[in-house]
């Protein structure tokens, strides 16, 4: 069982796409282990995007992510990171394939609707930023056995 951090960015919340996006992850067989609607602080955004500090897009990225509420969640399931990244699609909406979240709902480079961890190490670090100890819940669902088969 693998966990990943997913953030539905301000553009997804503002465009009322939260239910649609969450539904895509759930229909794929992923389980929500934590979720909250929140306004990201500048400090949290700086910690989360520390790897991008100094890049030309850093200030606008932090400004965007702190501008309006987001939905932060932990999803878990078999190969959750890879599955989520495929569901999200290419980073830039104009390049994302139809059928993906970004391909169906985005065209912008900057406003790309959703963030997902890109590795197990990143997921662990990012989950700790957004969810305090005890904030992620373990539980089982009826279809766990069907989704775990290799």
Measure the CA–CA gap between 101 and 25, rounded to whole angstroms. 10
What backbone torsions phi and psi does residue 84 show, to the nearest 5 degrees?
-65, -40
Task: Supply the DSSP string of 50-95, one letter for each residue.
Answer: GGGTTSTTHHHHHHHHTTS-EEEEEEEETTHHHHHHHHH--SSGGG
Residues annotated as catalytic (active site), given as ranges: 115
Show Cβ contacts of residue 132 under 8 Å, excluding neighbours closer than 6 positions.
Answer: none
């Amino acid at each position: 069982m693998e966990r990943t951090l997913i953030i539905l960015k301000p553009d997804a919340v503002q465009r009322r796409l939260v239910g649609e996006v969450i539904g895509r992850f759930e229909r794929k067989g992923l389980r929500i282990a934590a979720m909250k609607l929140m306004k990201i602080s500048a400090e949290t955004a700086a910690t989360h995007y520390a790897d991008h500090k100094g890049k030309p897009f850093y200030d606008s990225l932090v400004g965007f992510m702190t501008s309006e509420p987001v939905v932060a969640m932990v999803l878990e399931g078999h190969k959750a990171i890879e599955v989520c990244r495929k569901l999200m699609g290419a980073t830039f909406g104009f390049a994302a394939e139809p059928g993906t979240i970004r391909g169906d709902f985005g065209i912008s480079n900057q406003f790309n609707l959703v963030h997902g961890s890109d590795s197990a190490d990143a997921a662990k670090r990012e989950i700790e930023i957004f969810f305090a100890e005890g904030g992620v819940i373990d539980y089982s669902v009826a279809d766990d056995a069907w989704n775990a088969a290799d």
